[in-house]
Structure 1
Protein backbone atom coordinates (compact mmCIF):
# COMPACT_ATOMS: atom_id res chain seq x y z
CA UNK A 1 0.00 0.00 0.00
CA UNK A 2 2.77 2.44 0.89
CA UNK A 3 4.55 1.85 -2.41
CA UNK A 4 1.33 2.69 -4.28
CA UNK A 5 0.80 5.89 -2.27
CA UNK A 6 4.43 6.90 -2.76
CA UNK A 7 4.23 6.24 -6.51
CA UNK A 8 1.17 8.49 -6.83
CA UNK A 9 2.92 11.24 -4.89
CA UNK A 10 6.02 10.82 -7.08
CA UNK A 11 3.88 11.09 -10.22
CA UNK A 12 3.01 14.63 -9.16
CA UNK A 13 6.67 15.48 -8.52
CA UNK A 14 7.79 14.07 -11.88
CA UNK A 15 5.06 15.90 -13.78
CA UNK A 16 5.89 19.15 -11.97
CA UNK A 17 9.52 18.78 -13.02
CA UNK A 18 8.59 18.11 -16.64
CA UNK A 19 6.28 21.12 -16.73
CA UNK A 20 9.06 23.35 -15.35
CA UNK A 21 11.93 22.02 -17.48
CA UNK A 22 10.33 20.85 -20.72
CA UNK A 23 8.83 23.66 -22.83
CA UNK A 24 6.80 21.16 -24.89
CA UNK A 25 5.23 19.76 -21.73
CA UNK A 26 4.56 23.27 -20.40
CA UNK A 27 2.78 24.15 -23.66
CA UNK A 28 0.80 20.90 -23.51
CA UNK A 29 -0.66 21.69 -20.07
CA UNK A 30 -1.08 25.45 -20.60
CA UNK A 31 -4.70 26.46 -20.16
CA UNK A 32 -5.79 22.99 -19.03
CA UNK A 33 -8.20 22.75 -16.08
CA UNK A 34 -8.60 19.14 -14.95
CA UNK A 35 -9.31 17.17 -11.77
CA UNK A 36 -8.75 13.41 -11.82
CA UNK A 37 -7.95 10.65 -9.40
CA UNK A 38 -6.08 7.38 -9.24
CA UNK A 39 -7.34 4.99 -6.59
CA UNK A 40 -7.99 1.45 -5.48
CA UNK A 41 -11.41 -0.18 -5.23
CA UNK A 42 -11.02 0.07 -1.45
CA UNK A 43 -10.86 3.88 -1.72
CA UNK A 44 -7.14 4.54 -1.22
CA UNK A 45 -5.92 7.09 -3.70
CA UNK A 46 -4.85 10.55 -4.68
CA UNK A 47 -6.59 13.44 -6.43
CA UNK A 48 -4.68 15.47 -9.02
CA UNK A 49 -5.45 19.08 -9.93
CA UNK A 50 -4.13 20.59 -13.14
CA UNK A 51 -4.73 24.33 -13.42
CA UNK A 52 -2.90 27.38 -14.76
CA UNK A 53 -0.04 25.31 -16.17
CA UNK A 54 0.72 23.59 -12.86
CA UNK A 55 -0.12 20.27 -11.24
CA UNK A 56 -0.65 19.48 -7.59
CA UNK A 57 -2.16 16.56 -5.75
CA UNK A 58 -3.62 15.67 -2.40
CA UNK A 59 -4.15 12.38 -0.63
CA UNK A 60 -7.78 11.37 -0.73
CA UNK A 61 -10.63 11.52 -3.20
CA UNK A 62 -13.15 14.08 -4.44
CA UNK A 63 -16.79 13.62 -5.44
CA UNK A 64 -16.74 14.53 -9.13
CA UNK A 65 -13.38 14.14 -10.90
CA UNK A 66 -13.34 14.28 -14.71
CA UNK A 67 -12.00 10.71 -14.71
CA UNK A 68 -10.87 8.02 -12.30
CA UNK A 69 -8.45 5.13 -12.65
CA UNK A 70 -9.63 2.52 -10.16
CA UNK A 71 -7.25 -0.40 -9.59
CA UNK A 72 -8.31 -3.71 -8.02
CA UNK A 73 -5.79 -3.18 -5.23
CA UNK A 74 -2.64 -1.21 -4.37
CA UNK A 75 -0.29 -3.98 -5.53
CA UNK A 76 -1.91 -4.11 -8.95
CA UNK A 77 -1.86 -0.33 -9.22
CA UNK A 78 1.80 -0.14 -8.31
CA UNK A 79 2.76 -2.95 -10.71
CA UNK A 80 0.81 -1.40 -13.58
CA UNK A 81 1.96 2.18 -13.08
CA UNK A 82 5.62 1.26 -12.55
CA UNK A 83 5.92 -1.33 -15.34
CA UNK A 84 8.67 -0.79 -17.91
CA UNK A 85 6.14 -1.68 -20.63
CA UNK A 86 3.65 0.85 -19.25
CA UNK A 87 1.30 0.84 -22.22
CA UNK A 88 1.17 -2.96 -22.37
CA UNK A 89 0.69 -3.24 -18.60
CA UNK A 90 -2.09 -0.67 -18.73
CA UNK A 91 -3.89 -2.54 -21.52
CA UNK A 92 -3.48 -5.90 -19.73
CA UNK A 93 -4.92 -4.42 -16.52
CA UNK A 94 -7.90 -3.09 -18.46
CA UNK A 95 -8.40 -6.43 -20.21
CA UNK A 96 -8.22 -8.36 -16.92
CA UNK A 97 -10.51 -5.79 -15.28
CA UNK A 98 -7.78 -5.10 -12.71
CA UNK A 99 -8.25 -1.48 -13.79
CA UNK A 100 -11.56 0.24 -14.44
CA UNK A 101 -11.76 3.72 -15.91
CA UNK A 102 -14.71 5.98 -15.15
CA UNK A 103 -15.35 9.39 -16.64
CA UNK A 104 -14.39 11.41 -19.70
CA UNK A 105 -12.34 9.23 -22.06
CA UNK A 106 -11.14 12.24 -24.05
CA UNK A 107 -9.51 13.52 -20.87
CA UNK A 108 -8.05 10.05 -20.24
CA UNK A 109 -6.46 10.15 -23.70
CA UNK A 110 -5.14 13.65 -23.00
CA UNK A 111 -3.61 12.38 -19.74
CA UNK A 112 -2.01 9.41 -21.51
CA UNK A 113 -0.25 11.84 -23.85
CA UNK A 114 0.87 13.87 -20.82
CA UNK A 115 2.48 10.81 -19.24
CA UNK A 116 4.47 10.29 -22.43
CA UNK A 117 6.58 13.25 -21.28
CA UNK A 118 7.76 11.05 -18.39
CA UNK A 119 9.25 8.43 -20.69
CA UNK A 120 13.01 8.57 -21.19
CA UNK A 121 14.09 9.76 -24.62
CA UNK A 122 14.35 6.94 -27.10
CA UNK A 123 17.93 5.92 -27.76
CA UNK A 124 18.75 5.46 -31.42
CA UNK A 125 19.37 1.90 -32.45
CA UNK A 126 22.97 1.15 -33.46
CA UNK A 127 21.45 -0.17 -36.69
CA UNK A 128 19.75 3.10 -37.58
CA UNK A 129 21.53 5.33 -40.02
CA UNK A 130 22.62 8.70 -38.78
CA UNK A 131 22.83 11.79 -40.94
CA UNK A 132 26.24 13.35 -41.38
Structure 2
Protein backbone atom coordinates (compact mmCIF):
# COMPACT_ATOMS: atom_id res chain seq x y z
CA UNK A 1 0.00 0.00 0.00
CA UNK A 2 1.34 3.42 -0.83
CA UNK A 3 2.53 5.90 1.78
CA UNK A 4 -0.35 8.18 0.74
CA UNK A 5 -2.91 5.44 1.42
CA UNK A 6 -1.31 4.66 4.79
CA UNK A 7 -1.36 8.35 5.69
CA UNK A 8 -5.02 8.66 4.65
CA UNK A 9 -5.96 5.54 6.62
CA UNK A 10 -4.14 6.89 9.67
CA UNK A 11 -6.00 10.17 9.30
CA UNK A 12 -9.32 8.35 9.09
CA UNK A 13 -8.53 6.34 12.23
CA UNK A 14 -7.49 9.55 14.03
CA UNK A 15 -10.74 11.26 13.03
CA UNK A 16 -12.72 8.26 14.24
CA UNK A 17 -10.88 8.30 17.57
CA UNK A 18 -11.40 12.06 17.88
CA UNK A 19 -15.10 11.62 17.19
CA UNK A 20 -15.37 9.37 20.24
CA UNK A 21 -15.32 5.98 18.49
CA UNK A 22 -13.06 3.91 20.71
CA UNK A 23 -13.82 0.35 19.65
CA UNK A 24 -13.56 -1.37 16.32
CA UNK A 25 -14.28 -5.04 15.74
CA UNK A 26 -11.62 -7.42 14.50
CA UNK A 27 -13.79 -8.01 11.43
CA UNK A 28 -13.73 -4.28 10.72
CA UNK A 29 -9.93 -4.28 11.08
CA UNK A 30 -9.64 -7.16 8.63
CA UNK A 31 -11.79 -5.47 6.02
CA UNK A 32 -10.28 -2.02 6.59
CA UNK A 33 -6.71 -3.21 6.12
CA UNK A 34 -6.97 -6.33 3.94
CA UNK A 35 -10.19 -5.79 1.98
CA UNK A 36 -13.56 -7.36 1.50
CA UNK A 37 -13.86 -11.07 2.20
CA UNK A 38 -11.05 -11.24 4.79
CA UNK A 39 -11.74 -12.39 8.32
CA UNK A 40 -9.42 -12.44 11.32
CA UNK A 41 -8.22 -15.99 12.09
CA UNK A 42 -5.53 -15.05 14.63
CA UNK A 43 -4.05 -11.99 16.28
CA UNK A 44 -1.44 -11.25 18.91
CA UNK A 45 -0.36 -8.27 20.98
CA UNK A 46 2.90 -6.58 20.00
CA UNK A 47 4.65 -6.19 23.36
CA UNK A 48 8.02 -4.92 24.56
CA UNK A 49 10.20 -6.60 27.19
CA UNK A 50 8.37 -4.69 29.95
CA UNK A 51 4.99 -6.07 28.90
CA UNK A 52 3.74 -2.82 27.36
CA UNK A 53 1.51 -3.38 24.34
CA UNK A 54 2.43 -1.13 21.41
CA UNK A 55 0.14 -2.67 18.80
CA UNK A 56 -1.50 -5.79 17.49
CA UNK A 57 -0.64 -8.03 14.55
CA UNK A 58 -3.56 -9.54 12.63
CA UNK A 59 -3.60 -12.69 10.48
CA UNK A 60 -6.63 -12.77 8.20
CA UNK A 61 -7.85 -15.22 5.58
CA UNK A 62 -10.09 -15.00 2.53
CA UNK A 63 -11.59 -18.43 1.88
CA UNK A 64 -12.72 -17.54 -1.64
CA UNK A 65 -9.18 -16.61 -2.77
CA UNK A 66 -7.14 -18.88 -0.44
CA UNK A 67 -5.00 -15.90 0.56
CA UNK A 68 -3.80 -14.82 3.97
CA UNK A 69 -3.14 -11.19 4.87
CA UNK A 70 -1.02 -9.80 7.73
CA UNK A 71 -1.11 -6.27 9.13
CA UNK A 72 0.58 -4.80 12.21
CA UNK A 73 -1.49 -1.95 13.67
CA UNK A 74 0.18 0.41 16.15
CA UNK A 75 -1.52 1.46 19.39
CA UNK A 76 1.49 3.40 20.69
CA UNK A 77 3.24 6.25 18.89
CA UNK A 78 0.26 6.56 16.50
CA UNK A 79 0.78 9.57 14.27
CA UNK A 80 4.54 9.49 14.81
CA UNK A 81 6.72 7.65 12.34
CA UNK A 82 8.42 4.72 14.05
CA UNK A 83 9.89 1.52 12.69
CA UNK A 84 7.02 -0.92 12.19
CA UNK A 85 7.01 -4.28 10.44
CA UNK A 86 4.72 -7.10 9.36
CA UNK A 87 5.77 -10.55 8.21
CA UNK A 88 3.94 -13.52 6.66
CA UNK A 89 5.68 -16.86 6.11
CA UNK A 90 4.04 -19.69 4.19
CA UNK A 91 5.20 -23.27 4.75
CA UNK A 92 7.00 -24.58 1.65
CA UNK A 93 6.29 -21.24 0.03
CA UNK A 94 7.20 -17.59 0.06
CA UNK A 95 7.82 -15.12 2.86
CA UNK A 96 6.52 -11.58 2.69
CA UNK A 97 7.79 -8.53 4.61
CA UNK A 98 6.82 -4.90 4.97
CA UNK A 99 8.91 -2.64 7.15
CA UNK A 100 9.49 1.06 7.41
CA UNK A 101 8.85 4.17 9.45
CA UNK A 102 5.05 4.25 9.54
CA UNK A 103 2.60 6.39 11.51
CA UNK A 104 -0.21 3.81 11.85
CA UNK A 105 0.50 0.32 10.48
CA UNK A 106 2.69 -1.99 8.38
CA UNK A 107 1.19 -4.16 5.65
CA UNK A 108 -1.06 -5.42 4.37
CA UNK A 109 0.88 -8.44 3.09
CA UNK A 110 -0.86 -11.05 0.96
CA UNK A 111 0.16 -14.63 0.25
CA UNK A 112 -1.55 -17.68 -1.22
CA UNK A 113 -1.75 -20.23 1.56
CA UNK A 114 -4.63 -22.58 0.72
CA UNK A 115 -3.73 -26.01 2.08
CA UNK A 116 -0.57 -24.67 3.78
CA UNK A 117 0.46 -23.59 7.28
CA UNK A 118 1.56 -20.04 8.07
CA UNK A 119 3.56 -18.05 10.62
CA UNK A 120 3.07 -14.34 11.20
CA UNK A 121 4.91 -11.63 13.12
CA UNK A 122 4.74 -7.91 13.73
CA UNK A 123 6.97 -5.36 15.43
CA UNK A 124 6.90 -1.75 16.59
CA UNK A 125 9.92 0.25 17.78
CA UNK A 126 9.78 3.44 19.81
CA UNK A 127 10.56 6.66 17.86
CA UNK A 128 14.11 6.84 19.27
CA UNK A 129 14.80 3.24 18.12
CA UNK A 130 15.91 2.18 21.60
CA UNK A 131 13.17 -0.31 22.53
CA UNK A 132 11.38 -2.77 20.30
CA UNK A 133 8.18 -4.75 20.69
CA UNK A 134 7.12 -7.88 18.87
CA UNK A 135 4.35 -10.41 18.65
CA UNK A 136 2.75 -13.07 16.53
CA UNK A 137 3.33 -16.76 16.07
CA UNK A 138 6.67 -18.24 15.02
CA UNK A 139 5.37 -21.81 14.74
CA UNK A 140 3.31 -23.26 11.91
CA UNK A 141 -0.43 -22.93 12.35
CA UNK A 142 -3.70 -22.00 10.68
CA UNK A 143 -3.13 -24.86 8.29
CA UNK A 144 -5.83 -24.91 5.66
Calculate the TM-score normalised by the size of structure 1: 0.30
Report which of the two structures shows the higher radius of gyration computed on alpha carbons.
1
Q: Counting helix residues as a fraction of each chain, which structure ranks higher?
A: 1
Q: Counting strand residues as a fraction of each chain, which structure ranks higher?
A: 2
